[in-house]
Copies of this chain bind each other. A is one copy, B any other.
Amino acid sequence: MPAKPVNPDLQKERNTATFDVREFSVLWAGGEERFKEKKALEKMFLEDPALQDDLPISYLSHKELYEHSLRKACIIGEKIRKLRADGEDGVDTYNALLGGSLGAAILKEGNPLALHYVMFVPTIMGQGTMDQQVEWLSKAWDCEIIGTYAQTELGHGTFLRGLETRADYDASTQEFVINTPSLSAYKWWPGGLGHTANHAVVVAQLYTKGEFRGLAPFIVQLRDSDSHRPMPGIDIGDIGTKLGMKGVNNGYLGLKNVRVPLNNMLMKNQQVLPDGTYVAPKNSVLTYGTMMFVRCALIRDTAQSLAKASTIATRYSAVRRQSPIDPNQPEPQIMDHTTQQLKLFPQIAKAIVFKTTGDGIWNMYNVISGEIEQGNLDRLPEMHALSCCLKAICSADAAAGVETCRLSCGGHGYMDCSNFPTIYGMTTAVCTYEGENTVMLLQTARYLVKVYGQALNGEKLVPTVSYISDAINQSKFVNFDGSLRSIVKAFQFVAANKTRIAYEQIELRRKQGHGTEVSANLCGTFLTAAADLHGRAFLAQTAYTELTALSREVSPELAEVLKVVLELYLVDACLNRIGDFLRFIDLTDQDVTQLEVRLENCLKRLRPNAVSLVDSFDLHDRVLDSALGAYDGNVYEHIFESTKKNPLNKEPVNGAFHKYLKPFMKAHL
């Protein structure tokens, strides 16, 4: 990677690493073969000059950025076509190109064609009949048509039953008449909807024979296939600038008496017959599958965000020197300040734990979705509850972690050339989309409270919540010896008690005469706290199990490093919830001080390997796209280069001087 000589402070860090970076990189990539595939894809995409930017995109206007993004999206689309023709279009390649690190290296503010590949095509596959798939899929795969998925509305998000868009079946012409009856019914947010897609799956309230039937998906043509002009009755455009996702072309859509043929309703699960007879779906549970799938994938994305941010901040902290520790010594690498270590190293540890958990839950999802397809829905609620709270916790922690990393780089982190602002914009978005985090935690909590009632009745609980039964049978937590195992156990004990309190508080409100739902709302903050602890207990348990298992498989040198990562993660997680620990477990002031000293000690032990750990994430310089985080560590040179690209600096005197400033300065002379 390095073109210039590596900054000596950074080189020194690499020279003194105690483990083999490549060993961990291969592990991180998912094995030797995946590692090689990754490198090959990087070569194919990142070395293509057509996919490189001369001008950093932060200098483009919104309109210019859209045009720029569409151009690159088409080049990527062309390459995907080629990969498909060669039979090399695995799911991993897709993920890497559209959502993953490679996609972010090419289109860091998002791809206006992404929803075509990740929502439009899969929806037709999942909800279209065989005939419908034959009709639409080849056109969609070949990008003869470009689609998106239009569900949320200006006035309606999470609560799907509140959607206003309606489709009325007209048996006389065998058509649906689709309308957005008010401004708040306008479809809002779909990626690529603004000016890119010419088709969409539109989700609407279905009415046949004058009766309401529930939600259904319809394929609607939005724009003329030749002129790209909006079709009659279609009011469409881009929703405007945003905190992030700036290249995605999120759009709005109003529909006024738009007629689509009967066969444009996707009918795999439910049907409308030509005369308007409605055939209800057999199983409404199936849609849970997709949502869980997406949330599991998001957990891995949050790990990637933390990996990026911690790589940038750690390398910068090895190069930047500031504020003597000893006034008689020169300014140290800022990474030698303990306060700086406390900002950086927990983020590195979280990146590793979230990745491990993301992989684990992905496997769990595959097992359970296999069971579901066999008609066994036993573990669906458990899996749903887990995916909800983990999505919320990992996205919130990752967004906060990215900001901690940015702030740890002082003023320079605030510059766009650090890439932190973009990474934050993309990461914090995950807190909102695919189920807003608070709603997610409430979903998990609802499950936990139900399970708590079952445990009280002596029912046997499924694996991921069985700790609740254990806690009920154990009024006091007695064996806190500070071992990692006992921290994990303590986390579970604490989580069970948070669920207990939520349960008891709801019961109390009910006894006071409130209904169940009103009681649950009054106890909202108890519920989200319980769900938070459930997720954190699961993360602690998974980190412990998986990293301990991994340590047995790798070289002793890497195992030693992973042990420090695990201890740092668990001690830090425990101290971050120390109020809950002290509330339910007898710990003294001295116990807490000991944990704090132990944290300091973990930081000290991680310090020599910090740079090499982030090197192991093996993030290409193009993926990082950061003057502060480049592999060669020539931080100041890269910042200065980026400044020289600034269009404002192309002229020594800006025109506004003559136009505004000079007349103002000379006004009274």
Specify which chain B residues have a CB less than 8 angstroms from the CB of A338 in the assembled complex: 521-525
- Contact A525 B664, beta carbon cutoff 8 Å: no
Partner of A648, one of B146, B156, B237, B505: B237
Q: A15 at the A/B interface (Cβ < 8 Å)?
A: no
Out of B56, B518, B589, name the residue touching A583 (CB < 8 Å): B589
User: Is the Cβ of A521 less than 8 Å from the Cβ of B646?
Assistant: no
| Interface 9-mer from A58-66, A211-219, A480-488 | A58-66
Please give, as numbers and ranges, the residues of chain B lying within 8 Å of A663 by CB-CB distance. 74
Closest to A60 in B: B61
- Closest B residue, CB atoms, query A593: B501
Is A241 a contact of B596 with CB atoms below 8 Å?
A: no
Stretch at the interface among A31-39, A223-231, A260-268, A365-373: A223-231
A77 in the interface (beta carbon within 8 A): yes
Q: Which residue of B61, B194, B646, B665 contacts A240 across the interface (Cβ within 8 Å)?
A: B646
CA distance A322 to B189 in the complex (A): 17
Question: Are A528 and B339 CB-contacts (below 8 A) given A183-B636, A326-B517, A417-B240?
Answer: yes
Q: Name which of A120-128, A286-294, A407-415 contacts chain B.
A: A407-415
Instruction: Point out the residues of chain B lying under 8 angstroms from A420, CB to CB.
Output: 243
Could you tell me if A237 and B649 are in contact, using CB atoms closer than 8 angstroms? yes
Contacts of A597 in B (CB 8 A): 505
Q: Smallest Cβ distance from A298 to chain B, in angstroms?
A: 15
Question: Is A549 engaged at the interface, CB distance under 8 Å to the other chain?
Answer: no
Chain A interface size, under 10 / 10 to 19 / 20 to 34 / 35 or more: 35 or more
Q: Which residues on B sit within 8 Å (CB–CB) of A505?
A: 593, 597
Q: How far is the CA of A410 from the CA of B501 in the complex (A)?
A: 28
CB-defined interface of A397-441 with B at 8 Å, one 1/0 digit per residue? 000000100010011011111001100000011011100111100
Min CB distance A327 to B, Å, is 6
Point out which of A429, A431, A657 has the most chain B C-beta atoms below 10 A from its C-beta.
A657
- A656 CB contacts on chain B under 8 angstroms: 66-67, 70-71, 195
A46-69: contact bitstring with B at CB < 8 Å (1 yes, 0 no)? 000000000010111111101100
Closest CB-CB distance, A357 to chain B, in whole Å? Answer: 23
Interface string of A117-155 (1 = CB under 8 A from B): 000000000000000000000000011111000001011
- Complex Cα–Cα for A351 and B658 (A): 42
Verify if A655 is at the interface (C-beta below 8 Å from B).
Answer: yes
Bound-state CA distance A132–B98 (Å) is 62
Minimal beta-carbon separation of A443 from chain B (angstroms) = 11
A198: shortest Cβ distance to chain B, in Å? 8
The reply to whether A643 and B66 form a contact with Cβ atoms under 8 Å apart is: no
Q: What residue in chain B is nearest A195 (Cβ atoms)? A: B654
Cα(A421)–Cα(B528), bound, Å:
26
A653 within 8 A of B: yes
Name the B residues within 8 Å of A239 (CB-CB).
415, 643, 646
Q: A521 and B337: CB pair below 8 A?
A: yes
Q: Which of A227, A245, A322, A429 has the most CB of B within 10 A?
A: A322
Known: A146-B665, A156-B322. A646 touches B66 (CB 8 A): no
A662 interface residue per 8 A CB criterion: yes
Question: Mask for A236-249, Cβ within 8 A of B = 1, else 0?
Answer: 01111111110000
Give every chain B residue within 8 A of A648 (Cβ-Cβ).
Answer: 62-63, 66, 194-195, 237-238
Interface of A is mostly: helix
Inter-chain contact B70/A661, CB cutoff 8 Å: yes
Q: Is A546 an interface residue (CB 8 A)?
A: no
Q: Interface readout for A633-669 with B: 1 if CB under 8 Å, 0 if not?
A: 0001101101111111100111111111111111111
A420–B432 alpha-carbon span in the complex (Å) = 15
Is the CB–CB distance between B432 and A241 below 8 Å? no
For the complex, give the distance between the alpha carbons of A442 and B523 in Å.
39
CB-defined contacts of A431 to chain B, threshold 8 Å: 407
Asked whether any CB of chain B lies closer than 8 Å to the CB of A158, the reply is yes
- CB of A424 to closest CB in B, whole Å: 8
Number of copies: 2
Q: Find residues 59-118 in chain A having any chain B CB closer than 8 Å to their own CB.
A: 59-64, 66-67, 70-71, 74, 77-78, 81
Q: Which residue of B lies closest to A662 (CB)?
A: B228
CB of B158 within 8 A of CB of A657, answer no
Whether the pair B517, A325 counts as a contact (CB closer than 8 A) is yes
Say yes or no: is A560 at the interface (Cβ < 8 Å to chain B). Answer: no
B525 touches A665 (CB 8 A): no
A578-B583 contact in complex given A66-B648, A526-B596, A653-B229, C-beta closer than 8 Å: yes
Q: Let me know if A331 is at the binding interface, CB within 8 A.
A: yes
Alpha-carbon separation in the docked complex, A336 to B517 (Å):
13
Closest CB in chain B relative to A134 CB, distance in Å? 18
With A229-B653, A653-B195, A660-B71 already in contact, the answer to whether A337 and B237 are too (CB < 8 A) is no
Contacts of A581 in B (CB 8 A): 579
A342 within 8 A of B: yes
Which parts of A481-520 form the interface with B (CB within 8 Å)?
497, 501, 505, 515, 517-518
- Which residues of A are in contact with B by a Cβ distance under 8 Å? 56, 58-64, 66-67, 70-71, 74, 77-78, 81, 142-146, 152, 154-159, 162, 183-184, 186, 188-189, 194-196, 223, 227-230, 237-245, 252, 320-327, 331, 336-340, 342-343, 403, 407, 410-411, 413-417, 420-421, 428-429, 431-433, 436-439, 442, 497, 501, 505, 515, 517-518, 521-526, 528, 577-584, 589, 592-593, 596-597, 599-600, 636-637, 639-640, 642-649, 652-669
Q: 22 A-B contacts, Cβ less than 8 Å apart?
A: A58-B62, A59-B61, A59-B241, A67-B660, A70-B660, A71-B656, A74-B663, A77-B664, A146-B661, A155-B321, A156-B322, A157-B411, A159-B324, A162-B323, A195-B657, A238-B643, A245-B414, A325-B517, A336-B521, A403-B428, A497-B589, A525-B600
Beyond A194-B648, A340-B438, A582-B582, 18 additional contacts (C-beta under 8 Å) are A58-B62, A59-B62, A63-B654, A81-B668, A183-B640, A184-B636, A188-B411, A237-B643, A237-B648, A240-B642, A240-B646, A243-B416, A244-B414, A337-B524, A338-B525, A339-B528, A407-B431, A505-B593
